[in-house]
Amino acid sequence: MNAPLALVQASRPPDAIASCPARLGWMVGSPPPPERQIRFADGSAYRFPQLRWSFAHLPSLVPTAVVPRGCGPAWPLPRAERDDVDDLAFTPLHGGTAMSWAASLAANYTDAIVVLHRGRIVHERYFGVMAPERLHTALSVTKGVLGLLAEVLIADGQLDRAAPVGLLVPELAATGFGDASVGQLLDMSTALDYSEDYADPGSGIWAHAAAGGVLPRPPGWQGPDGFRAYLRTIARAGEHGRVFAYRTVNTDALAWVLEAVTGQPLAPLLSQRLWQPLGAEHDARLSIDSQGVAFAGGGLNTTLRDLARLGELLRLGGVRDGRRIVPAAAVQRLQHSAEPPVRVRRIDAPMAGWRYRSMWWATHNRHRAFMARGVHGQALYIDPAAEMVIARYASHPLPPNALSDPTSLPAWHALAEHLIADPA
Amino acid sequence: MNAPLALVQASRPPDAIASCPARLGWMVGSPPPPERQIRFADGSAYRFPQLRWSFAHLPSLVPTAVVPRGCGPAWPLPRAERDDVDDLAFTPLHGGTAMSWAASLAANYTDAIVVLHRGRIVHERYFGVMAPERLHTALSVTKGVLGLLAEVLIADGQLDRAAPVGLLVPELAATGFGDASVGQLLDMSTALDYSEDYADPGSGIWAHAAAGGVLPRPPGWQGPDGFRAYLRTIARAGEHGRVFAYRTVNTDALAWVLEAVTGQPLAPLLSQRLWQPLGAEHDARLSIDSQGVAFAGGGLNTTLRDLARLGELLRLGGVRDGRRIVPAAAVQRLQHSAEPPVRVRRIDAPMAGWRYRSMWWATHNRHRAFMARGVHGQALYIDPAAEMVIARYASHPLPPNALSDPTSLPAWHALAEHLIADPA
């Protein structure tokens, strides 16, 4: 058992009800009393239970760039709510007694969840301070959006999967990214002198966050200023293309590539290629560093339903209302692959057999489900066999999804089986 | 001639074309080169010509709270563009030769302008980095939105115009606001030991901005932290209700009152009472201080068309699509008054005869036009006789609207007369 798991069991953080951010009254008052204030600068924003409020208020805490929805109509999501979801029973991973769907939402510290079946909302819940029109951080689900965007450009012939990164972004030529291919960034099979261990204060992920201003900088910070200055410090360690290792910096390097080949900053690029044609109902927002560079590895904030719309677009193979929004090849790529897998390092047990492809997790289960995941429980789960899409935003006390998976993955699969058996 | 006017004439800032933020390439690049970066912390964001970019990117520079548009359909703005607006000739104030409408847009450093006639878009232009889906700072047009919101609550019986501020907000009881009435805040006839001279670095407006974090704080800042801490330092100076004096702190005190009587923070309150029922197409955003308190005196950011929608709602007396959104009494209040005016101090020449009512400027001209105004050229102008609404966002090099008025007010009136003569 790794350190965070031991920690959470030892310290027993307050449960979903006790930590409910609406109940705790964060930032309520004019001004809020000092003990109910949450600020970015003093680090309180990312402490539990404060993060349950912060995850739904990031643009109130840090600078963000808009990803405009454009001016067209939103893609309608008809409602067809079912009364048989809350009581659906499933068995959590690692054994234990049966649990109801409704109980799992509290167990996971769910902030909001929506289930689409055949494009209709069959189940939708909001908790705490989350609401239909509120933006919630997607954390590493952002990577899935970037992966899709890259696959769109590849399918359109604007980007070459085999091209070396250093050729497309000369500033990265002399770094560990220089001779990696775009495809290796996408599948996170680069070999870099960089670690992403959340439990190790000296790991690269914290330096990356400090450079980009995602977290307050340690006192006396002398490190790189900005995501891209940090990327330029990363050396190679080994041979690219051999081992899968989940590293956020790959996505930030990918964003640099996308901006270089299109000549557009990420926010308007994402708007133009995905958010507008998708028919998003609300503008999304991307966290940015002091130089305006987006946090591509985890900075997207969206409403729950807009995230679900993206999932529905993928479920439909890239077509919305009979109009192709995303090339079919791009969607297929996220879902599965005939290529032999690279060796997998550090995959949690419930994900055995899964593959990380273009910044998506392909489960290769019987339903060919695939998903984008972010720490603390962010998820976009697409089950093609069940014609089901689940978008979930959450604020689990600790980052590892291994803490949420046991009460999430089997619940979602059980609901998928139920929808197949009883499509209603 | 006051100092800023002398300064602008002496220093001759670059014109609208030379200062075009798209042409200057602010924040373009990955990352942008240092000389093209704009940051909040170093003060560059509000320098000219950088402010031409910043005004359309405030949520990328400072924390903001969302004012959700909700999930309903946007209020449609049908297009009926006319080709006779660009060449419309008018005579600028203070004499001079005739100017065309199109030339006036450059003279004013217009970022975006839209003209509605009978609810249809007859003219619309975007310049520089501004775009239909982009949020632009409304600056003191925000005050007009707050004034309207207060009048709605008054008309609904939730707020008493005669109530003393100190009774509604006990924290303000011992300050200069304490024995002022809500109505005196609204009409800015409070008597306060506070000055709003932009040309004086020691004036209250800069302390207010530093306390709220609207501008970077001077090195070694020891003053109040947050808008509300600053409001509590303001003493009375004279007798309330006698003299009109334009002071931003009145609006921030008003916001405190609105939050106190409704128990809601300003952003959701504004969303619920105005932005959602209005049928706004995009979420708006409010700048906030480190305690989450909104900058009510100037922190609203909206798309151009959503601002125009608000104007159209007022032109229609508060009714949208046959449904009353805002009480008729609230709208009438902004437009004119039978009450004797308080004495007016410091009104620019072209505004002679105007009245400041509930944070709106009632022109009392033949068309009974009324407007909300913000420094650097922000404007929402409603001309009931011509069935015309003009929303304009701009980034004039210097704050005073006296610099934009000569090429704006007569142009708008000329267009109004033209629309009456030739409604097409």
Closest CA to B275 of B126, B412, B71: B71
Q: Do B60 and A64 touch (CB under 8 A)?
A: yes
Q: Do A292 and B63 touch (CB under 8 A)?
A: no
Axis-axis angle for helices A141-155, A304-315 (nearest 10): 40
Q: What is the mean pLDDT of residues B108-127?
A: 98
Model confidence pLDDT, tens digit, residues B8-54: 445 688 999 999 999 999 988 877 888 999 988 888 999 999 999 99
Split at pLDDT 50, 70, 90, the class of A224 is: very high
Q: Are B257 and B182 in contact (CB under 8 A)?
A: yes
Chain A residues whose CB is inside 8 A of the B73 CB are 73
Q: Do A64 and B59 touch (CB under 8 A)?
A: yes
- For residue B286, the number of C-alpha atoms closer than 13 Å in the C-beta half-sphere is 29
Residues B192 and B249: their CA atoms lie apart, in Å, by 10
Whether the pLDDT of residue A117 is over 80: the answer is: yes
Residue in chain A closest to B286 (alpha carbons) equals A60
Pairing of strands A243-244, A343-344: parallel
Chain A residues whose CB is inside 8 A of the B33 CB are none
Which among B39, B135, B256 is the nearest to A30, CB-wise? B256
Q: What is the mean pLDDT of residues B407-414?
A: 96
Residues A89 and A415: their CA atoms lie apart, in Å, by 9
**Nearest-CA distance B169 → chain A (Å):** 9
CATH class of B99-421: alpha beta
Domains in chain B: boundaries:
99-421
Q: Per mean pLDDT, which range of A72-81, A232-241, B8-17 is the poorest? A: B8-17
Cα four-point dihedral sign B221, B225, B226, B228: negative
Chain A residues whose CB is inside 8 A of the B296 CB are none
Residues B359 and B250: their CA atoms lie apart, in Å, by 10
> pLDDT at position B170, please?
96
Model confidence pLDDT, tens digit, residues A263-287: 999 999 999 999 999 999 999 999 9
Residue in chain A closest to B39 (alpha carbons) equals A290
Chain B residues whose CB is inside 8 A of the A60 CB are 63-66, 288, 292
> pLDDT at position B4, please?
46
> pLDDT at position B58, please?
95
Model confidence pLDDT, tens digit, residues A284-317: 999 999 889 999 999 999 999 999 999 999 999 9
**Nearest-CA distance A382 → chain B (Å):** 24
Q: Say what the ipTM of the complex is.
A: 0.74
> pLDDT at position A337, please?
64
Whether the pLDDT of residue B377 is over 50: the answer is: yes
DSSP B288: B
Q: Are A85 and A122 in contact (CB under 8 A)?
A: yes
Q: Do A228 and B281 touch (CB under 8 A)?
A: no
Whether the pLDDT of residue A195 is over 70: the answer is: yes
Q: Do A265 and B28 touch (CB under 8 A)?
A: yes
Model confidence pLDDT, tens digit, residues A347-398: 677 788 888 999 999 988 899 999 999 999 999 999 999 999 999 999 999 9
DSSP A225-259: SSHHHHHTTPPB-S-TTSEE---HHHHHHHHHHHH
Model confidence pLDDT, tens digit, residues B238-272: 999 999 999 999 999 999 999 999 999 999 999 99
Whether the pLDDT of residue A338 is over 90: the answer is: no
Q: Do B291 and A31 touch (CB under 8 A)?
A: yes
> pLDDT at position A1, please?
34
Q: Are B190 and B240 in contact (CB under 8 A)?
A: yes
